[in-house]
Amino acid sequence: MRQSQVLIPTLKEVPTDAEAVSHQLMLRAGFIRQIAAGVYAYLPLALRVIQNVERIVREEMDKIDAVESLMPAILPAELWQESGRYQTYGDNLFKLQDRHQRDFILGPTHEETMTYLVKNVLNSYKMMPKVLYQIQTKYRDEDRPRYGLLRGREFIMYDGYSFTANSDDLDKIFDQMEQAYHNIFDRCGLDYRVILGDSGDMGGNSSREFSAIADIGEDTIVYSDMSDYAANLEMATSIIADNPTEKLAPLQEVAAPGVNTIEALVQHLQVAPQKIIKNVAFMADDKPVLALIRGDYDINEVKLKNLLEVNELRPATDAEISEKFQSSPGFIGPVHLSVKLPIIADLSVQNLCNATTGGNHKDQQVQNANIDRDYQVDQFADIRTVKAGEISPDDKGTLQFTRGIEIGHVFKLGTKYSQSFQAEFLDEAGRPQPIIMGCYGIGISRLLSAIVEQHNDEKGMIWPLEVAPYQAHIVIVNTKKAEQTSLAKTVEQQLIKEGFSVLVDDRKQRPGVKFAESDLLGIPVRIVIGKKAADNIVEVKLRNQSEAIEVAQNDLVDTINILLKNYIS
């Protein structure tokens, strides 16, 4: 394709309202333009990347016998009222009425539609398993759309749905999908982690989240530097060393006027945080709960909430600490507690000898507190937020922290939607059963942001080969020279024959402008055709290399193939 034909409105200035590097670069390189907040036009180069990603997804889905279909974006409100999500999705749902005042939504996802479609169709175990997917424009009325394609209001998703008659088949498809996702993200050149979800109703790990490593990511990911272990910070766990065993000393009360934080306590009593029990008073569905953790850790409220199986968990107010806990804010603790209430302790407190903690009297703390003798715990559990450098729970490597962009998920839905829609099949015994479902998602347009976040330098984007808008960029130095334009034509045809997609910069521009724009666009292979064209010699350089090499046109393809062995995947 001749560059003069393509619309690539590059910008000289960095757009001031774009925070993320990927957003800046996609605007600067003329890949996208904003039409409204969170709503973008994909210009030719961006669309080519999207189509490459879509092709990869389709190829990997073909391998696992998933079949493509296409649902509408306009969905009748009734479908979402049936599942209850018309209400629970809240303001994120775009709602509209047609000319006859019938209510519709713009679909952010299609569990309801797919379940409605297969109802009365997949009516026998013989018709399953089936896996359907689509690649479609989705809508989500985000409160704060940002970072370009990363969090938009109109975006392109892959969404897949599996329908099975038993959970063994679901497990099998789930594993195939997970492998397909690995293949897809590997081919996109992404560095990512697979995060295990919590155990759901289905038994076993019922979800995986695929997260691309990026500073701009909205999730904090904890991962092992030596293994596949990865988790969201809210779910991450670790191995911590046992507390040292000591001879028990007698419980002792010490004056601590105004000493109501761990830091002050460490200062006041010259005791290590590892010897302190930190106490946090919570209201869990309006009932008091006391949580204990070692002084060098913080309580992870998500873990505690999941453990307690409550709808609401919040720190108690000072008034509640006085009234419900019969204690004094800043001096609460498990010792001398006069009210009977649940006490949950993190595993870090287990076997902690001669601990310093609160005794429920203002301006006073206790030392040498020991479990059973001085206080009781109802349950020990992992309720802490892990810290970087701890040992990975699989005992392989230490934990690292990073930020991540959610790029995909696989999820065992079970029968939630098939029960809502009475989508049943007859099993081998002729009994009606709800269809067992799985759902699978990949953020196609968001992947572009993730790829650019990972692959760029000060000059622009650096596209991995399989997703690049074009794989080779032929830059004609002087388009007035017939030998240059003629050699460019020859090289273009040669490369196309070898399966490369090729962009030819045929514009009347200064070479410096052309080279800078070539770097900005990030096309993997650059071939410069200049003065030595008369001798059939061109210059070739990969986008992530600094030095170009001269090569005879006859040797060009071999040279490129050798160079590409060391290119980013």
* Positions in the binding site for a second copy (CB under 8 A): 1-2, 5-7, 9, 33, 35-36, 39-44, 47-48, 50, 65, 67-76, 79, 91, 94-96, 98-99, 102, 104, 106, 113, 116-118, 121, 126, 130-132, 137, 139, 141, 143, 153-154, 508
Residues in contact with 458: Cβ distance below 8 Å, sequence separation at least 6, in sequence order:
none
Please, what is the minimum distance in Å from the beta carbon of residue 42 to a second copy?
Answer: 4
**3-state DSSP call for residue 48?**
helix
DSSP letter (8 states) at residue 248: P
C-beta of 32 vs 335, nearer to a second copy: 32
Residue with Cβ nearer a second copy (14 or 41): 41
- Tell me the HSE value of 358 on the side-chain side, using a 13 A CA sphere: 33
Residue 45 makes CB contacts below 8 A (sequence gap 6+) with: 6, 8, 29, 30, 31, 469, 470, 521
Are 325 and 291 in contact, with CB atoms under 8 Å apart? no
Q: How far apart are the first and last CA of the chain?
A: 24
Task: State CA 93 to chain mean position distance.
Answer: 21
Beta carbon nearer to a second copy, 99 or 497: 99
SS3 string of 188-215?
CCCCEEEEECCECCCCCECEEEEEEECC
Cα–Cα distance between 395 and 384 in angstroms, integer?
18
Compare residues 76 and 342 and give the one whose CB is closer to a second copy. Answer: 76
CB of 441 to a second copy, least distance (A): 18
Q: How many residues does the chain have?
A: 569
Shortest distance, CB of residue 9 to a second copy, whole angstroms? 4
DSSP labels for 290-338?
EEEEETT--B-HHHHHHHHT-S-EEEPPHHHHHHTS-S-TT---STT--
Q: How far is the CB of 41 from a second copy (least distance, A)?
A: 5
Give whichever of 127 and 568 is closer to a second copy, judged by the CB atom: 127
* CB of residue 46 to a second copy, shortest distance in Å: 8
Cα dist. 228→196, 222, 225, 361, 398 in Å? 10, 11, 8, 47, 12
d(CA 380, CA 474) in angstroms, rounded, equals 65
Cβ count near 43 (within 10 Å): 19
Q: Find the shortest distance in angstroms from Cβ 297 to a second copy.
A: 39
Three-state DSSP at 408 gives strand
Query: In terms of CB distance, is 28 or 541 closer to a second copy?
Result: 28
Rounded CA gap, 557 and 460, in Å? 25
> Shortest gap between Cβ of 561 and a second copy (angstroms)?
26
Could you tell me the smallest distance in angstroms from the CB atom of residue 183 to a second copy?
A: 19
CB of 436 to a second copy, least distance (A): 17
For a second copy, give the closer residue by CB, 50 or 299: 50
By beta-carbon proximity to a second copy, the closer residue of 174 and 210 is 174
CB of 260 to a second copy, least distance (A): 42
Q: How far is the CB of 398 from a second copy (least distance, A)?
A: 43
CB of residue 451 vs a second copy: minimum separation in angstroms? 18
**Nearer to a second copy among residue 73 and residue 302 (C-beta):** 73
Nearer to a second copy, 387 or 507 (CB): 507
Of 132 and 488, CB closest to a second copy: 132
116 touches 79 (CB < 8 A): yes
CB of 277 closer than 8 Å to CB of 352: yes
Find out whether 182 and 192 touch, Cβ atoms under 8 Å. Answer: no
How far, in Å, are 45, 157, 387 from residue 447 at the CA level? 15, 10, 29
- What lies within 8 Å, CB to CB, of 184 at 6+ separation is 56, 57, 60, 408, 442
Of 163 and 210, nearer to a second copy (C-beta) is: 163
